[in-house]
Amino acid sequence: MKILVPVKRVIDYNVKPRVKADGTGVDLANVKMSMNPFDEIAVEEAIRLKEKGAATEIVAVSVGPAKAQETLRTALAMGADRAILIETDEEVEPLAVAKILKAIADEEQPGLVILGKQSISDDSNQTGQMLAALMGRPQGTFANTVEVDGDSVTVKREVDGGLQTVKLSLPAIVTTDLRLNEPRYASLPNIMKAKQKPLANKTAADYGVDLTPRLKTLKVEEPAVRQAGVKVADVAELVGKLKTLGIAD
């Protein structure tokens, strides 16, 4: 079985994003970029399935600028077998990504597509669900555990206050949650080996997908600055203040 893993290049999760002065978006100039953390978990899960013998090939895919090659090389260094870059300098919306992934899935015929549950850049949480709809295949979102058994996959999903177990027939779409696994670091020899692995360069036009945005971002704002706190002398003073604020009675 082949596994397709879409990986997105996003601002590194350790970097505090800064909103551009004109409020049109996040400033990406000279900012460290990395693989979306949920996608690292997706790559790791695909590798574990291959190590268990449930998968034979892992194909990493990214839609983004030429520099997204670095993200794909990271996936290859972790253990993916080959990669496809769909190069564009435009900001691509989840629907366009899902359409491209659908076209790639038609070509590659993967048994599983494992995506992150959301990209930390736009927090959309849409691509996996849209892809499942476009492919007409079942989806197991927010996966905490993934087990492939013959022609089905059992996914434990993280839901409010617990776990829900679903069984999907393959081919299926899975999106990863934070607790699914702890991604491995790529070792230096594997980083070197990854340079030799195949990476195909494509464009959206190769898949007949129109990238024209359907949405317009009107405004992006920084979170409100937190007000300075005050120190209270004792519990009585704290309770008094909570009462004045109507939080305690």
Give least dist CB 243 to ligand AMP, A: 43
Choice between 47 and 97, CB closer to ligand AMP: 97
**Binding-site ranges for ligand AMP (CB under 6 A):** 6-8, 36, 38-39, 42, 61-64, 92, 94, 97, 115-116, 118-119, 122, 124-128
Q: How far apart are CA 26 and CA 10, in angstroms?
A: 11
Largest CA distance in the chain: 69
Q: Taking the complex as a whole, how short is the minimal distance between the CB of residue 199 and ligand AMP, in angstroms?
A: 14
CB nearer ligand AMP, residue 10 or residue 153: 10
**Whole-angstrom distance, CA of residue 212 vs CA of residue 90:** 9
Task: Give the residues across from 156 on adjacent strands.
Answer: 145, 165
Minimum distance of ligand AMP from residue 29's CB (angstroms): 20
Shortest Å distance, C-beta 185 to ligand AMP: 19
For the bound state, the minimum distance from the C-beta of residue 72 to ligand AMP, rounded and expressed in Å, comes to: 9
Dist. CA 116–CA 131, nearest whole Å? 12
Given a contact cutoff of 8 angstroms between Cβ atoms, the answer to whether 92 and 64 are in contact is yes
In whole angstroms, give the CA distance from residue 207 to residue 104.
8
Nearer to ligand AMP, 57 or 239 (CB): 57
Q: Indicate if the alpha-carbon torsion angle 45, 196, 118, 129 is positive or negative.
A: negative
Whose Cβ is closer to ligand AMP: residue 36's or residue 181's?
36
Name the residue with the smallest CB distance to ligand AMP: 116
Count of helices and strands (H, E) across the chain: 6, 11
Which C-beta is closer to ligand AMP: that of 111 or that of 116? Answer: 116
